[in-house]
Amino acid sequence: MTPEQQAARILVDGGLIAHATEGVWGFACDPLCEQATFRLLEIKERSWEKGLLLLGGDASDFKDQLAELPQCRIDRVTKSWPGHNTWVLPDTRYPRWVRGIHTGVACRVPDHDQARRLARLCGFPFISTSLNRAGRPPITRQADAQVQFAGVVDFILPGETSGYSGPSVIRDSQGEILRGTS
């Protein structure tokens, strides 16, 4: 079993992993597993009300959310993927603990081959939120992930960020920037 297959199996089984993304490392879990999600939030020291981000293997993972948009917006979103762009899309599929107090869900197809492969191996988009405790800087190196979270998460997937600086840009479905700069 490859490390990616092992990570996917842990996610499917309701576990929690650490993994690399474009600019930072992330915590990951199955968004439909309430226990795993609240375990992640407890470790991160973050309220569920803020909502969480989902990473998918390709745009088709978010077809239900995209279907709620006019074609011109669908085109804009899908042309930005894979990329360092997260979009808050209309959602009724994911549970409250994923959306938080919002009516939409943050979705991204990352510009990170390993993260996309992981989503494909899982067979679903997974929660990915920066690997840090609330108020602390996100981790950008595997060595730091090992030091701070070995034994806290179920698995640390060996990997590297793909060179972006910091977390992704987050936009609402209209394209307005909610976090970061383009």
pLDDT (0 to 100) of residue 78:
97
pLDDT (0 to 100) of residue 182:
55
Say if residues 84 and 177 touch (Cβ distance below 8 Å).
no
- Would you write out the chain's pLDDT as a tens digit for each of its 182 residues? 999 999 999 999 999 999 999 999 999 999 999 999 999 999 999 999 999 999 999 999 999 999 989 999 999 999 999 999 999 999 989 999 999 999 999 999 999 999 999 999 999 999 999 999 989 999 999 999 999 999 999 999 999 999 888 788 888 888 888 877 65
Instruction: Give the chain's count of helices (H) and strands (E).
Output: 7, 9
Domains observed in the chain: 3-177 (3.90.870.10)
Positive or negative, the CA dihedral 160, 163, 165, 170 is negative
pLDDT (0 to 100) of residue 172:
84
What does pTM read for this prediction?
Answer: 0.93
Say if residues 25 and 19 touch (Cβ distance below 8 Å).
yes
